Chain A
Amino acid sequence: MPEGVAGASGQRATRAQTWRRRGADVAAVLVPTVLFALARTVDSNLLLLVTIMVYVVLAQGVNVIYGFTGYLPFGYVGFFGAGAYGTYIAVAHLGAGAVEATVLGGVCAVLVAIVLIPLLRLRGAYFAIASLAAALALSSLVSNPSLQSVTNGPYGADLSQVFSSGGSYWTAVVIVAFAMLVVVVLRRSRLGLQLRAVRADQVSASYAGVNVVAARTGAWLLSALLAGLAGGVYAWAISTFYPTAVFDTTISLFAIVFALFGGVGTVLGPVVGAVVLYYVYNAIGVNDPQYFQLIFGVVIVVIALFLPGGLAAVLLGARRRLATRGADAG
């Protein structure tokens, strides 16, 4: 063989790796999107499908903020509710179309997140509790009767004038694609790398020139955007709702459990977690919600104690063990 082949084949190997990685990224965005787009042919309950997609997006939003920064947002539902009400206000008062209104719902959640940036100064349980308190405060603000002219206060929002089960379904599919794209790009991006560094060692990251506050704020706003879009499309799909329905802290809890169960820090983990657990919930939980919350509570404890990496870690671990066994045998 001519000289230099070793180097060239080495290069080819890395190029192959690059292509494989790109392929995996594209598949991670396309496969869930296409599956959800096709889902309507097997399950005609479009509201159920939208709800599952909403949880996929929320779980990815938790992935962005918790998986990349370590902030556990128990008040995550605040952004969801802000998105739902932003969408309602855009339709009812600005005369926006449903799709634009959904986008404005996302913007509305980002505005709330901007106001709440100071919460990022808190850590651990203090942050978790403060974010929950912020969500409760937002909820009582929205449902305050004196804001009836804006939010219709406690009497609930009505979006039936723009109702479209197909429209909200396809918008949800697009939002799922967007959420997948956000996570895939974030993982490969410089910001993603910086956030991993900040999580590992804040001081070292700062000396590396990383603006720790700005990097965390970026993740915070992105995760708020995802929750806001999810809230917007959910509001559109269910058409009429009370404040308590879109500021229900169970929504935060579900999103966190789904993300943790599937595996934060991975691209597909939260999707699998949301789909599997929501179907389980839908099969047994809706009728007996009290048992279901008990089960979810236990799932959180078990994951926290035994499976910090979620389902993804179990699967990756099994693959690695198989690989080493194969290597040992060969």
Chain B
Amino acid sequence: MPAESASAAPIGEAPPASALLAVAAVTKLFGPLRALDEVSLRVDRGEVLGLVGPNGSGKTTVINVISGLLAPTSGRVLLEGQDVSGKAPFRLARRGINRTFQIPKPFPALTARENLAVAFHGSRLTDAEILELVGLGGREERLASELTASDQKRLDLARALVTGPRLLLVDELGAGLSKTELDELAGILRRLVAELGMTMVVVEHLMGFLEQVADSVTVLNAGAVIFSGGLSEALSDPAVVKVFIGG
């Protein structure tokens, strides 16, 4: 990766160059529903941010807005200080943002290998290495529709990795997996950060999983950020506790 030059924008205008992603006061309306309400986040290069919140609090919408599937109603998404709000997913995929889906969306009639071959190739790893990395080695020629739910999630992850993301958005990869599979997946995500220098936003309900991968967390409730900081502080924050236990 080429060295990033520091932003020339005046201080206070753009976030510091170390912020790979900044979400600045993003609001997203679906008709009358305020799915996101002035959400702001910052993720530094190499950082893993956990994104938590009750069902319907807007986690997936945050990922959809950052990755270009939805344009924000107001506010901005900045990648390395540049406004990328509302750019189409294929453009952002080529610029280094990719995501996995809460419900995996592979191409069912294509083999695992073809699922990756379709993609824009921005990774320095080969497709075979990526399939190996996510634990799909030996299943290259299987049709995606024949894979188990857990393997479809791996394939979803692999397809995102092929594009060589600097920022990977992971939407509930852990849901429905066994403890062993969860630990394996956490290990994979940690390797992506340590060995490929990836930055991540990880949406997850399972605190045990987040403990293994996240450096800090942001808590959403009803579309608004109610906490940003360390995971252990979050768990002792009264507002957060109220949402998760009292709500």
Contacts and interface: CB of A to CB of B under 8 A. Distances in A.
Q: A and B, one complex?
A: yes
Contacts of A197: 107, 110, 118
A208 B93 contact: yes
B107 A206 contact: no
Contact of A193 (B93, B98, B118, B160): B118
B159 A204 contact: yes
Interface in A174-201: 190, 193-194, 196-197, 200-201
Contact of A210 (B67, B98, B114, B118): B118
A122 B13 CA distance: 41
A208 B106 contact: no
A208 B120 contact: yes
B69 A208 contact: no
Contacts of B101: 204
A190 B116 CA distance: 12
B128 interface: no
Chain A contact residues (Cβ within 8 angstroms of B): what range?
Answer: 10 to 19
B114 A206 contact: no
Given A197-B118, A212-B90, A207 B99 contact: yes
B118 A208 contact: yes
Contact of B90 (A193, A196, A200, A211): A211
B108 interface: yes
Contact of A207 (B67, B114, B117): B67
Contacts of A205: 90, 107, 118
Given A200-B110, A208-B159, A194 B118 contact: yes
B110 A209 contact: no
A203 B69 contact: yes
Contact of B109 (A200, A210, A212): A200
Contact of A208 (B88, B109, B119): B119
Contact of A206 (B93, B108, B110, B162): B93
B90 A207 contact: yes
A209 B93 contact: yes
B221 interface: no
Given A206-B88, A209-B90, A209-B119, A193 B105 contact: no
B197 interface: no
Nearest to B116: A208
Nearest to A211: B90
A213 to B, nearest CB: 9
Contacts of B90: 205-212
Choose among B93, B99, B110, B118 the residue with the greatest number of A CB atoms under 10 Å from its CB. B118
Choose among B93, B107, B120 the residue with the greatest number of A CB atoms under 10 Å from its CB. B107
Interface in A105-149: none
25 contacts: A190-B117, A193-B110, A194-B118, A196-B110, A197-B107, A197-B110, A200-B110, A203-B105, A204-B105, A205-B118, A206-B88, A206-B90, A207-B89, A207-B98, A207-B99, A207-B159, A207-B163, A208-B93, A208-B118, A208-B162, A209-B90, A209-B93, A209-B120, A209-B122, A212-B90
Would you list the 7 A-B pairs with minimal beta carbon distance, nearest first? A209-B120, A208-B119, A206-B89, A209-B93, A200-B107, A204-B105, A197-B118
Given A193-B117, A200-B107, A204-B106, 14 more contacts: A193-B110, A196-B109, A196-B110, A197-B107, A204-B101, A204-B107, A205-B90, A206-B93, A207-B89, A207-B98, A209-B90, A209-B93, A209-B120, A209-B163
